[in-house]
Amino acid sequence: SEQFIKEIRRLGIVPTMWGLEYSYDWLDSMPEIARSIEFFDKISLQLTT
């Protein structure tokens, strides 16, 4: 969640590696994976400013 990502940043935990796993019906979950990536990119960019 957004709060979790922000807390990791606040705590200064480095290096930080994120992984997403969609092992169920992965072909049909591509739209969900795309939304997850968009969410992560948005939050990551917000934290750099």
Which token pair is 26?
């992965």
- Helices assigned H by DSSP within 1-49: 2-11, 30-47
Model-level pTM? Answer: 0.69
> Are residues 2 and 43 in contact, defined by beta-carbon separation less than 8 angstroms?
yes
- Is the pLDDT reported for residue 27 higher than 90? no
What is the residue extent of each domain of the chain? 2-47
Judged on CB neighbours under 10 Å (0-12, 13-18, 19+), 9 is middle
Rounded to an integer, the average pLDDT of 1-8 is 90
pLDDT band at 7 (very low <50, low <70, confident <90, very high): very high
Percent of the chain with pLDDT over 70: 100
Rounded to an integer, the average pLDDT of 17-37 is 83
